[in-house]
Structure 1
Amino acid sequence: MKKEQEKIRVGISIGDLNGIGSEVVLKTFEDSRMLDFCTPIVFANNKLLTFFKKHYKLSLNFQGIDSADKAIDGKFNVVNTWKENVKVNFGKEDKKIGEYAFKSLEAATQALRENKIDVLVTAPINKNVIQSEKFNFPGHTDYLAKELEGNSLMLMVGEQLKVGLLTDHVPVKEIANVITPELITRKVTIIEETLKKDFKVQKPKIAILGINPHSGDSGVIGKEDEEILKPTIQKISEKGKLVFGPYSADSFFGSKNYKNFDAVIAAYHDQGLIPFKTLSFGKGVNYTAGLNRIRTSPDHGTAYEIAGKGEADFHSFKEAVFSAIEIFKNRKEYLALTSNPLKKQSKKL
């Protein structure tokens, strides 16, 4: 009989080795109390992490393993994803380093797909140097959408704010052409479902921001809000979903209107991420909603400018680990309740 897994197995892709990924990963688990919450499994190389450990003068110990299913509870496990030595040049873009970032991500994703890990937390990659025949994507979100079942959506999660995007890594000049009634409906559906099953929100209330300044001012500044957003929001609302908007983005956050909603959907990347990172930077988490597996990441990039200096703040990565654990538990409970209506009814009583 297989021994019951006591702790959630958190798989970790190491990201760009010339950035701050290794630093924030190791600093997060330097606190041995983290091992009370989960079993970390890093996809990298034992010798390489020993180098980082010495460089940052840390004291945590590693358990080298050949496969994620050999991970030991109570240990910081490292799956030796490659054997060769890797030369690290902090703060430098390097296509070779991009290859190792992909090796780590590919192995971690496979382990997630095969249930050898329960959740995946990804350290930052350099989207330029990781590009190859196997990775031809704007970022993690699109890659995982291909590898895992579901329609992915980038959802930024903070203590008081959750921001999803209608379009993520799309050039500004193409945004209006990409947003369609079908896209809006699909994104609203994903966010509503993830709020219910991953964040325990029974009746999600969602705000949608306008595409144009002042939501188009009744068509004076662009017609997309009047002709696409408003009628689509109306149709979604008629189906019983609590979806409101479009709201003028320039005043929505400053007026704290976001506090009246469980999630906000921004029309494009910077419209949503600038206010989110202003309000939550350092503690925010990037969650890939809409998949059949759980993936989170910190809300920052490779930060080459401070790589190797020991100055990186690890709290966003730590929050990403805790968020993945919480979402895993919430989803497990939701699936148990929805698959057993009698249990759900007894809980209400």
Structure 2
Amino acid sequence: MLDFNKTYFCPSTFILVGIPGLEAEHIWISIPFCIVYITALLGNSVILYVIKMDQTLHEPMYILLSMLAFNDIGLASTIMPKLLGIFWFNSHEINYAACLSQMFFIHSLSAVASGILAAMAYDRYVAICYPLRYASILTNKLITKLGIAILIRAVTMEIFLPFLVRRFLYFKSIVISHSYCEQMAVVKLAYGDTRPNNAYGLFASAFIGLSDLMAIAWSYAMILKAVFQIGSKDARLKALGTCGAHFCVILIAYVLAFFSFLSHRFGQENIPAHVHVFLANTYVLLPAMLNPFVYGANSKQIRESVLRMFQQRKGHVPTLR
């Protein structure tokens, strides 16, 4: 039953606030966000180009890296064009259907990124613990099937989120105190029983996030066990340095993601809105910027491939006499 003493909205559009409480500083906040986004686009595009052009990099490790780079571009691009529109042009309106689409792609691509990171951790486990069997265990065909499975899992788990929101006919407000259509930020505006949304969102995030995190933790635990059995100190330090950089990026991504997820449900009243929204954007953008450097630049083969390409281009530039 509707309470006619309250105001009801049946919106065709929503209003995205941006960074709540910091609207006057939007133009300045846009500068670091824009730099991070451009860096993420350039870094991941270079990774994709190098892996595509160099036939020696058409191996499982680099196929997974190219999947991650492609996914990072897509994930960052789901929020940044609209966010920069808010910052630069005060373009706060977003169509209801576009809002639901953005919600679906943010959650789906985040789930895909989580799955790829778990697959990359397993790839390193096989490479370090079973180096002689690496080629027979992780074939390109297996990696392709794994990538398809990760995508199907993400879509089937997250496709229900926009439909669960779409069932609400009325909303308390059309103003979303966020910079993008985060599921819980939209659900909190709805009139009706939101428990199915809360329960399913909790289940989907826990199922994907915790299962992948456990797989990553197991892989790196086995890697560390194998590394400490290596006789050479230099080899141990090299392996620890590589795995340590990977683990730090994974840790940053998961800590920020779980913070955003849990604070929306259990502690938002204790966290300033601008801090919550800022970190929610950071967990999408920061890994997308860091991944090309940690996974790409940390790889000797990719560094050498990039150098060769630059040298070839330099060699084709005609000199002026």
Q: Which of the five TM-score ranges fits, normalised by the shorter chain?
A: under 0.3
Q: Would you tell me which structure has more helix in proportion to its own residues?
A: 2
- Compute the TM-score of the two structures, normalised by the length of structure 2: 0.26
Q: Would you tell me which structure has more strand in proportion to its own residues?
A: 1
